[in-house]
């Protein structure tokens, strides 16, 4: 365990540093970092503090949140296929965010953006749990998730197509694939409070998730309040996925790939997997966000494209494994 963190923490730090030093302005590392910390009047300080810094912070926050949410949902549902992006939680959050922007609510009151996204995510998680709770099985969960995803996607497209703004319809790609390009510190401050609430709740569910691996009855006999555990997972997931999607769009597969890779190193304990997945998710999104800037610097390649290219084969592999275990 300690060895895992000894690998993950430096990895996140190094990737964060690379992220800060990657960009079209093409300045030296030392010069960039001096401008970031020492400040000064030049345009480089503006670039470092208002463009690169928020981008790096949002990658860490959003990636960590997605990793956490994936690990927690998989632990609670005891289903390795549960992932906020795949089962429509991110999509519903995106619909909430689009509604907030298009109705003008977010212009009148900035926090409406993450709040509406949170409401969208919450609705999706509640429907999913009602239809495919711990006893629902993988298939029910995925099918319900597909339906929610499709509906949220269609409603998002509808709202954007009805907008009088000529640019709105093209933004469907952002909401479905996600991007961290040209975000500002404002977006960090919008997302952070909700994420902190989510992270705090997640920090308390670890023991319950560990106990749940023995079955619900055993967990209850160990003094775990299952109702509280369920609502903890639901609300925390809605908080972190809602806030992340509101500022970065729906980024899929992070919550699937990361817990899956790290599970063997945590002894199969869902509680321990939470923190590890948070670090792993931050690392994965930082790496993806560096990659989109290196591969196609002038095109604003969407983050979800990269994460799906890595994640979808993983997902197929997991489906295959689940199938073999059933047979």
Partner 1 sequence: MRLTGSILALALLLPCAVAGQGHGRAVTVTGEVASDAVPERPGRVVSINLCTDQLAMLLAAPGQLLSVSHLAAEPRSSSMAEQAGAYRLNHGRAEEIWLMQPDLVIAGSFSRRATVDMLRRLGVPVVVMGPAYSLAQVSDRLREMGAALGRETEAEQAVRDFEAALEALRDEVPDPPRAAIYDANGYTAGNRTLAGEILATAGFANIATEAGVAGVGRLPLELLAMADPDAVISSRRHPGASRSEEILDHPVVQALRDRSAGAVLTDRDWVCGTPHVLNAIAEMRALRRTVAAE
d(CA 244, CA 175): 11
Strands (E), the chain: none
Binding-site size, partner 1 (CB under 8 A): 32
The owner of tokens 């933004």 is 171
CB nearer to partner 1: pick between 162 and 222: 162
Is residue 50 a contact point for partner 1 (CB under 8 A)?
yes
Task: Supply 162's token pair.
Answer: 């009805």
CB nearer to partner 1: pick between 102 and 213: 102
Cα radius of gyration rounded to whole Å, the chain: 20
d(CA 288, CA 327): 36
Site string for partner 1, 79-118 (x = CB under 8 A): ----------------------xx-x-xx-----------
Is residue 298 a contact point for partner 1 (CB under 8 A)?
yes
- Provide the greatest CA pair distance for the chain: 66
CB nearer to partner 1: pick between 19 and 79: 19
The DSSP-derived string for 59-89 is HHHHHHHHHHHHHHHHHHHT-TT--TTTTTH
Q: For the chain, what's the residue count?
A: 327
Is residue 47 a contact point for partner 1 (CB under 8 A)?
yes
From 76-84, 120-128, 162-170, 215-223, span contacting partner 1 (CB under 8 A)? 162-170
CB nearer to partner 1: pick between 23 and 133: 23
- Contact footprint for partner 1 (CB under 8 A): 23-25, 43-44, 46-47, 50-52, 101-102, 104, 106-107, 163-168, 170-171, 174, 182, 184-186, 297-300
């Amino acid at each position: 365990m300690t060895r895992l963190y000894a690998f993950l923490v430096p990895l996140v730090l190094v990737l964060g540093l690379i992220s800060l030093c990657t960009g079209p302005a093409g300045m030296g590392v030392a010069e960039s970092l001096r401008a970031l910390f020492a400040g000064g009047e030049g345009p480089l300080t503006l670039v470092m503090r208002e463009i690169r810094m928020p981008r790096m912070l949002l990658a860490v926050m959003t990636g960590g949140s997605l990793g956490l949410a994936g690990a927690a949902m998989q632990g609670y549902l005891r289903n390795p296929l549960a992932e906020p992006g795949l089962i429509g939680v991110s999509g519903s959050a995106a619909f909430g965010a689009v509604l907030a922007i298009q109705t003008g609510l977010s212009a009148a009151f900035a926090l409406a953006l993450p709040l509406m996204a949170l409401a969208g995510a919450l609705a999706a998680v509640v429907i999913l749990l009602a239809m495919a709770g711990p006893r629902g099985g993988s298939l029910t969960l995925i099918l319900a998730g597909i339906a929610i995803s499709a509906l949220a996607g269609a409603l998002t497209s509808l709202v954007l197509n009805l907008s009088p703004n000529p640019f709105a319809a093209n933004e469907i790609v952002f909401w479905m694939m996600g991007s961290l390009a040209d975000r500002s510190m404002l977006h960090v401050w919008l997302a952070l409070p909700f994420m902190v609430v989510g992270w705090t709740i997640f920090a308390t569910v670890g023991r319950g998730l560990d106990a749940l691996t023995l079955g619900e009855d055993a967990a209850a006999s160990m003094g775990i309040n299952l109702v509280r555990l369920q609502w903890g997972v639901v609300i925390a997931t809605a908080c972190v996925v809602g806030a992340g999607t509101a500022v970065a769009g729906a980024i899929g597969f992070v919550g699937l790939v990361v817990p899956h890779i790290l599970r063997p190193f945590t002894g199969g304990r869902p509680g321990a997997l939470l923190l590890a997945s948070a670090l792993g998710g931050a690392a994965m999104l930082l790496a993806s966000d560096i990659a989109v800037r290196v591969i196609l610097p002038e095109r604003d390649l969407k983050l979800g494209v990269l994460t799906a290219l890595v994640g979808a084969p993983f997902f197929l592999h997991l489906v295959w494994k689940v199938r073999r275990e059933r047979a």
